[in-house]
Amino acid sequence: MYLYGIKPIKPGNYTQEFFDNYIIEDMSGIRRRFFSVEKDKANPVMTKDREWEEPVGPGYISYLKDEEQNRYLLWYDVPVDIDINGIKKRTYYVCHAQSKDLYKWEKPVYKNGYFENCPYNSIVARGNLHASGQTVVENPDKTDAQKKYIMVYDDMGVKISFSPDGIKWTEYEKNPVIKGMNDTHLSIVYCEQQKKWFLYIRPNVYAGHWKRRIAVSVSNDLESWTQPSNVLIPQDEDEFYDMPVFKHNGIFIGLLHKFYSSTSSTLDVELAYSRDGITWQRTYNTVIPLGNLGEFDSYYVSPSNLFTNFKGKLMTLYRGSASRHNDLLQNKRSAIGIGWLRKDGFVCLDCTSSNVMATKSQASLKEDNISVKEQGVLLTRPFIMEGSKIVINAWAPNGYVNVEIIDVEKGLPHLPDKPMIVKGPFHENAFEEFTEDKFDTFKGDSTCHTLSWNGRTDLSSLDGRCIRLKLTMWAARLYSFTVCK
């Protein structure tokens, strides 16, 4: 029998971010805030400079880090005009590039016969009719070195190929794994907790004029896939072009590519998230916005396949163009840029708004004629402590964050028998050694600050106990917390 009849959360050692109220019981004087990337001043970092990239340049992009070689590997498709029996046809090839620092990209060439005018080129896949919309991920199954990397792509059907190095690709013998054309960015992600593959594509069944919405297909083995089912359908917006998905701190993060087809013919990127890969929530926050007029990404941005940690920050590559969607293939150039976020910086709990704080304070004065201290209060849900310390990612150069640890197992304090309204925060009592008055107040800016009480950081005495955290904040932002071993 659980206290209150609710099973406590077991977050383990996953960093807890605040996309939703999964870990939040209640909060006051605090608002949830999502962020957009800061674009690198050196953008664009990669442009069209090879004959086989004519006429447009890089299209959909996918990248990952090769930890063994300490370098980034990039795959990008390019539209190529070829001559077939005197008729000019447009097809798509997948090219490869690599970089040590994200700013200088090398495009190694290989003799492959994929491009008639240049026997040596950086094309690594061209499919049967074309190869486009690719995403490359590292295979979690390490038993076969020839299948280190997995590529999903469109070739008049959803296909999969394997590679030992990201350059030489072998097509899966049971292709296509899903029939039907998907002329967009396909996304594949593996969920370790569920032991399942998730493939985000366009649906085969749809009601609208276009099928530009987001569907998911699921597989246990990369061979048998469920019928694609819609998970995100545009409402007031025009269309959802695609949605690259990746896992971050146990959460599915979606980079929802929105196409304003009936108005501006522009595209930008909204953040979405899911706890299970099936039920998705939108944030309505543009995580990769359009650039200003005159910049390389002023009319068109499209996401890569993920954000990754780089030198203490979150980084992503994205494609941009100064052309609208309907003009993009008319020999207009596109290029690749870098976007930055703070570590775990998709969202924070923000206690910096004077308006929010003043409204809270004035409401208390009007209703109860009492003054409430102007600070935000956050109560987490009960969770099982599985570690020996707690680390927070917080920003408070002009404010503070205080924390106390609540003993949930003792239950709520006794209330008088007569009905009454309890004023102020009400919750279980704190552990005597971890009260707020003993907490070493956090001030400053840190992505990895270890909590302490009178200099004590060791919380191993609470390992296995059911607790909750109470955080009081002023002029501060809380991005995440992590229970560490």
> Could you tell me which of 309, 397, 382, 302 has the C-alpha nearest to residue 346?
309
Q: What is the token pair recorded at 440?
A: 């070493």
pLDDT of residue 254 exceeding 90: yes
Contact by Cβ (8 Å): 187, 135: yes
> pLDDT digits over 343-371, tens only?
999 999 999 987 666 665 555 444 544 44
**How far is residue 106's CA from residue 51's CA, in Å, rounded to a whole number?**
15
Alpha helices, DSSP H, located in 328-401: 354-368
> pLDDT digits over 187-200, tens only?
999 999 999 999 99
The answer for residues whose C-beta is within 8 angstroms of residue 362's C-beta and 6 or more apart is none
Task: State the chain's mean pLDDT as an integer.
Answer: 90
Q: Which CATH class is domain 38-342?
A: mainly beta
> pLDDT digits over 153-210, tens only?
999 999 999 999 999 999 999 999 999 888 899 999 999 999 999 999 999 888 877 7
Residue 117's pLDDT is: 77
* Options 1.20.272.10, 1.10.10.10, 3.30.70.3280, 2.60.120.260; CATH of 3-35+347-484: 2.60.120.260
Residue 219's pLDDT is: 98
> pLDDT digits over 2-29, tens only?
455 568 888 878 899 999 999 999 999 9
Residue 86's pLDDT is: 72
**How far is residue 410's CA from residue 425's CA, in Å, rounded to a whole number?**
17
Residue 373's pLDDT is: 65
Q: What is the token pair recorded at 250?
A: 């146990």
Rg (Cα) of the chain, in Å, rounded? 26
Query: Where in the chain are the domains?
Result: 3-35+347-484, 38-342
